[in-house]
């Protein structure tokens, strides 16, 4: 059972949001990152028995006395594969009250009005609401590619035309020496391995 001002436990789920790191607390930050980035399985508690089954020793004994779990190699792969995110999909997913369409989300996540009140701003103040970031801003933020400035003269770049005709686009691509077709999307991983040599 979690206890603390920013901790909660309910129906087998727990939420712990009581840790914060200041800028200069590098050791504390490292400890937190190591905790977050820990693997789903502790390798030192995993072993292969003589009969070929994989034994996973539990950190704490279950209430019914169970001290370890047994899996066939394929069963273990099945359990672990459920933790692998699907290709080209969002890795961070929100469940429960943090899910996008949760009825209780408004009680947890601050609305724009409440954010303004918290910042001592009037909800009806003339401060312009931040609109969505442009594609150029997003590219700069994520990949540090600044498309608003010319990489030759560092002058400001303006959009003068939106070219949508296929023939014109192909002509430009040919002139620049680029392929006309986009690259094929390769599978993220090879087909699953179903046979294992556990000797």
State the chain's mean pLDDT as an integer: 81
Question: Is residue 68 pLDDT above 80, yes or no?
Answer: yes
Please give the average per-residue pLDDT across 139-144, as a whole number: 85
Listed as own residue / partner, the contacts of 136-139 with beta carbons closer than 8 Å and 24 or more positions apart are: none
Q: How many CB atoms lie within 10 A of CB 85?
A: 11
Please give the average per-residue pLDDT across 113-125, as a whole number: 60
Nearest to 18 by CA among 2, 34, 35: 2
Q: How confident is the model at residue 38 (pLDDT cuts 50, 70, 90)?
A: confident
Under DSSP, is residue 165 helix (H, G, I), strand (E, B) or coil? Answer: coil
- Which single residue is written with the structure tokens 């620049």? 176
Indicate if the alpha-carbon torsion angle 58, 62, 68, 73 is positive or negative.
negative
Q: How confident is the model at residue 50 (pLDDT cuts 50, 70, 90)?
A: very high
Please give the average per-residue pLDDT across 47-69, as a whole number: 92
Give me the pLDDT at residue 141, please: 84
Q: How confident is the model at residue 113 (pLDDT cuts 50, 70, 90)?
A: low
DSSP label of 149: B
Supply the Cα-derived Rg of the chain in whole angstroms.
26
Between CA 136 and CA 149 the distance in angstroms is 10
CB-based burial, 12-44: b 16+ in 10 Å, e otherwise: eeeeeeeeeeeeeeeeeeeeeeeeeeeeeeeee
Task: For the chain, give every domain's residue range.
Answer: 1-38, 41-84, 86-123, 135-176
Q: What is the pTM of this model?
A: 0.37
Between CA 17 and CA 8 the distance in angstroms is 9
Give me the pLDDT at residue 149, please: 86
| Mean pLDDT comparison of 15-24, 167-176, 187-196, highest-scoring range | 167-176
């Amino acid at each position: 059972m979690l206890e603390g001002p920013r901790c909660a436990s309910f129906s087998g789920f727990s939420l712990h949001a009581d840790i914060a790191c200041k800028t200069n607390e590098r050791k504390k930050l490292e400890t937190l990152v190591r905790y977050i980035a820990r693997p789903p399985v502790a390798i030192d508690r995993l072993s292969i028995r003589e009969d070929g089954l994989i034994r996973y020793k539990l950190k704490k004994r279950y209430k019914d006395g169970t001290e370890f779990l047994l899996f066939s190699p394929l069963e273990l792969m099945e359990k672990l594969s459920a933790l692998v995110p699907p290709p080209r999909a969002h890795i961070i997913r929100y469940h429960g009250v943090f899910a996008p369409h949760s009825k209780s989300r408004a009680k947890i996540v601050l609305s724009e009005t409440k954010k303004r009140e918290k910042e001592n701003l009037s909800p009806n103040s003339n401060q312009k609401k931040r609109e969505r970031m442009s594609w150029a801003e997003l590219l700069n933020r994520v990949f540090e590619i600044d498309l608003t400035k010319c990489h030759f003269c560092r002058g400001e770049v303006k959009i003068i035309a939106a070219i949508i005709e296929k023939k014109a686009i192909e002509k430009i691509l040919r002139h620049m020496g680029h392929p006309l077709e986009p690259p094929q999307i390769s599978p993220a991983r090879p087909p699953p391995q179903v046979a294992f040599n556990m000797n």
